[in-house]
Amino acid sequence: MKIATWNVNSLKVRLQHLQEWLVANPIDVVCLQETKQQDADFPQADLQVAGYYSAFSGQKTYNGVAILSRTPLSDVQMGIPNFADEQKRVIAATINGVRVVCVYIPNGQSLDSDKYQYKLKWLAALHDWLAEEIKRYPKLVLLGDFNIAPEDRDLYDPEGWAGNVLVSAPERTAFQGLLQLGLRDSFRLFEQAAKSYSWWDYRMMAFRRNMGLRIDHILISEQLALHCISCVIDKTPRKLERPSDHTPVVAEIQNP
DNA sequence: ATGGCTTCATAGTGAAGA
């Protein structure tokens, strides 16, 4: 099973990129973030033509998540249970016996922002929910836009970013807390090129200069990690005209 | 240099992203 995460930064704008990418890449399960589309506008028919079932939870302007799958999805769950949240940031489903949890973790804006407090509360709620979920589903994948660069090697300028949102100690501690539930960062299971990132600012010619951050992740439970044979960042779509600022991350799990 | 782009909701600019 090949499983991917991609923050498309508007599915309406990026639908063609997604379609072309799916033609070129035989991915079984694709998790999307920042679709920025109400459910009524979700391009379900187009994706069906491309060979995918879909489950989605969207809203106007902001947020929005979706799971695409070549095989049917069951037990679809939207949002974190018992955590009231207007923002559409979570969708989960079971696919071929694997629990897939797609997340768009809040950005946080800045350390002195209310949005940062929201991010930390959100991460705590995610942690508590997944502690139960992973017991129910030993085969679990948690993937999406985490808005956290876990280590200094995951960003281009650790000194300049020190203490900033996306790299602050409480955010990194929360990330480690997720790993301690029995999840592995699939990207780090393998040898990777230095300066590997998944997001680059639209400004400053950041992509060309590789001024990026690795904030999109695929975390997999120990049981699945035994069968994980690769995890790669695909920079190809970031080179297209009018790209998303994020690029897909793809993991392959053999006979999960 | 807290900007630099891009998107969305607007119908001028402003918010938000990361």
Q: Phi/psi zone of residue A98: left (φ > 0), alpha (ψ -120 to 50 degrees), beta?
A: beta
Name the closest nucleotide to A147, judged by C1' and CA: B18
Does the pTM exceed 0.85? yes
Active site residue A145: yes
Instruction: Report the C-alpha gap between A68 and A143 in whole angstroms.
Output: 13
Question: Strand B closer than 7 Å to the CB of A62?
Answer: yes
Protein CA at A62 to nucleotide C1' at B14, angstroms: 15
Checking each nucleotide's C1' against the CA of A109, the nearest proves to be: B18
Model confidence over A2-54: pLDDT tens digits?
999 999 999 999 999 999 999 999 999 999 999 999 999 999 999 999 999 99
pLDDT category, A116, cuts 50, 70, 90? very high
Query: How does pLDDT run across A130-157, given as a tens digit for each residue?
Result: 999 999 999 999 999 999 999 999 999 9
Would the Cβ of A106 be found within 7 angstroms of any atom in strand B? yes
Name the closest nucleotide to A37, judged by C1' and CA.
B8
pLDDT at A6: 98
- Mean pLDDT throughout A165-193? 98
Among A24, A32, A26, A2, CA closest to A246: A32
Cβ of residue A197 near strand B, that is under 7 Å?
A: no
How deeply is A89 buried, as exposed, middle or buried, from its count of CB atoms within 10 A (0-12, 13-18, 19+)? buried
What proportion of chain A, given as a percentage, has pLDDT over 70?
100
- Residue A135 in 3-state DSSP? helix
The mean per-residue pLDDT over the stretch A98-113 comes to 96
Chain B positions within 7 A of any protein Cβ atom are 4-9, 16-18
Is strand B within 7 Å of residue A208 (CB)? no
